[in-house]
Amino acid sequence: MKETALNEKERSVEELLSENEVLKAENKAAKERIAALCALQRTVQALTSELNLEPLLKNILRSAIEMVDASAGSLLLLDPATDELVFEVTEDDRGKALQGQRMAKGKGIAGWVVANRRPLIVNDVDKCHGDREMPINYRTGSLICVPLLAEGKVIGALEILNKQSGESFTDDDLDILTALAAQSATAIRNARLYRDLREERDRTVALGEEARKRLARDLHDGPAQLLSAIIMSVQFAKEILTRTPEKMDKLRAELEELEPLATKALHQVRTMLFDLYPAVLETRGLTSALESYVERLRLSNDFTVSLEVEDFSERLDARAEAAIFSIVQEAVSNARKHAHPSHLELGIARHDGNLVVTIRDDGQGFDPAQLDNSHDWCESLGLFNMRERARMLNGEFSIESAVGQGTLVKLIVPLQAGGGMDSGEREG
């Protein structure tokens, strides 16, 4: 009797001790998890403040490797244009060879993770995975790969290799990396938006600069030269008057030459003002502005011009009108500058709920395909500018041309409320 009671007591002490051990281990694991979460929080804070894509990607990969105590890894992003995965950053000397390499979307472990949008731990990569993506001679023991998901869309994957300790990756590692990947994907998306915004700003600045340069050139070649000629003539006339007051006839002849020069300068300045911003566009709309424009073009006598307006007279959103008008201006200025036509035909018509604007010249034409291949948008901003404006109008823009065949520039703008512009673009 007594012995059994003693045995039971001993057993319950043993049980308590082992329970205590379990609790201690659990406590330690919980502390480690809290520490890992704190580290994650700090990392995420640091990542989200980085707006430049390249350092951001490097930081994400480095943090991921550190967080799970691994020794190497890669960050892959999906190239939407080709649907390939690109090794954007790799850490580890042996991984350097991978940087910039591409891989079909479904291929390899990362390909599987991206296609299935699910993370994966593989703890004996060399044995189980024939479809290796690491360079030859690179031993991969264990691997953990998580998809990068931004707003529900998969944009790439983080692939982390070999724990420093040589142990296998655990579910805790997977949890931490999944959390890091979610925050990273959002940071990558923001950095890409920021980059697009900066590129957009650079393009706008370049366009503004180009317009200023053109204006300076036109002012220099046109009115500035005419005005110098007028000033010289006036000085000459004054000299005649002081030196030989009897030569009134000569003076009259001099003044008579001055008048057409001044008139020409005035005409040039007015044309420039019209090109810069036609006031009639704002007061009376697109059709009237095109009519005035055509009248001006006829004055220069370089070529004949016709304008056909069909079933369209209403006003559009002011920015849509301005965009359409400047596409016409650029197309006309190209025809004048490059095509040397004998006739230019402008058309504006309503067709199936669209506004169809056409600019056709019978000049020398060109090969648009060749231009596309050799095209550097910095050099010829005109076509780029027209396409950008058409895009802003949700319109379709096309150029049909061939050497010796003249050129047809066509813009089709949907005529829903707002003249084809997104409501967002019309604000402000």
Q: Which is nearer to Mg ion, 41 or 380 (CB)?
A: 380
329 binds ligand ADP (CB under 6 A): no
Partner touching 35 among ligand ADP, Mg ion, none, CB below 5 to 8 Å by kind: none
To ligand ADP, the closest distance from the beta carbon of 376 in angstroms equals 10
| DSSP state at residue 223 | I
Q: Are 296 and 274 within 8 A, CB to CB?
A: yes
- Least distance (Å) between residue 319 CB and ligand ADP: 22
Residue 371 CB, nearest distance to ligand ADP (Å)? 5
Q: Which of residues 320, 339, 393, 421 is near ligand ADP by CB under 6 A?
A: 339
CB of 185 to ligand ADP, least distance (A): 38
Cβ 399 to ligand ADP, closest distance in Å? 7
φ and ψ at 423, to 5 degrees?
A: -60, -35
Give the whole-angstrom CA distance, residue 180 versus residue 314.
55
Write the DSSP assignment of 358-388 as a string of letters: EEEE-S----HHHHHHT--TTT-HHHHHHHH
Rounded CA gap, 285 and 270, in Å? 19
Binding segment for Mg ion among 71-79, 129-137, 138-146, 326-334 (CB under 5 A)? 326-334
Least separation in angstroms between CB 336 and ligand ADP: 9
Kindly state the smallest distance separating residue 337's Cβ from ligand ADP, in Å.
6
Structure tokens at 14: 């043993």
CA distance 62 to 262: 70
CA 25, CA 32: separation in Å to the nearest integer?
A: 11
Q: Count of residues binding Mg ion (CB under 5 A)?
A: 2
User: For residue 144, which of 59, 33, 65 has the smallest C-alpha distance?
Assistant: 65
Neighbours of 255 (CB within 10 A): 12
Residue 163 or residue 389: which is nearer to ligand ADP going by CB? 389
Smallest gap, in angstroms, from Cβ of residue 380 to Mg ion? 6
| CA separation, residue 46 to residues 51, 55, 287, 348 (Å) | 11, 12, 55, 55
Q: Between residue 390 and residue 409, which ones bind ligand ADP under the rule CB under 6 A?
A: 407
Name the residue number minimizing CB distance to ligand ADP. Answer: 382
- How far apart CA 355 and CA 415 sit, in angstroms, is 6
How far, in Å, CA of 239 to CA of 237, rounded?
5
| 329 scored as a contact of Mg ion (CB under 5 A) | no
Binding of Mg ion at residue 382 (CB under 5 A)? Answer: yes
Among 63, 74, 162, 334, contact with ligand ADP (rule: CB under 6 A): 334
β-strands 84-91, 102-104: how paired?
Answer: antiparallel
Q: Contact, 288 vs 312, CB < 8 A?
A: no
User: Which tokens hold the place of 95?
Assistant: 């991984």
Nearer Cβ to Mg ion, position 222 or 382?
Answer: 382
Among 284, 338, 387, 426, interactor with ligand ADP by CB under 6 A: 338
- The secondary structure element, H or E, covering residue 120 is strand 120-122
Q: Of 57-65, 206-214, 309-317, 374-382, which part binds Mg ion (CB under 5 A)?
A: 374-382
User: Residue 140 or residue 407: which is nearer to ligand ADP going by CB?
Assistant: 407
- Kindly tell me the sign of the dihedral angle through the C-alpha atoms of 310, 315, 321, 322: positive
- Report the nearest approach of ligand ADP to the CB of residue 346 (Å): 13
The contact mask relative to ligand ADP for 350-389 (x = CB under 6 A, - = no) is -----------x-xxxx----x--------x-xx------
The count of chain residues that interact with ligand ADP, using the rule CB under 6 A, is 15
Q: 339 is in the binding site of which of ligand ADP, Mg ion, none (Cβ under 5 to 8 A by kind)? A: ligand ADP
CB of 221 to Mg ion, least distance (A): 16
Residue at shortest CB range from Mg ion: 382
Looking at the Cβ atoms of 194 and 384, the one nearer to Mg ion is: 384
Q: Cα Rg for the chain, rounded, in angstroms?
A: 36
Cα gap 341→344, rounded to integer Å: 7
Which one among 184, 186, 268, 334 touches Mg ion, defined by CB under 5 A? 334
| Contact criterion met (CB below 8 Å) for 421 and 315 | no
Q: Residue 5 has which token pair?
A: 């009671």
Q: Which residues bind ligand ADP (CB under 6 A)?
A: 334-335, 337-339, 361, 363-366, 371, 380, 382-383, 407
Q: Which residues bind Mg ion (CB under 5 A)?
A: 334, 382
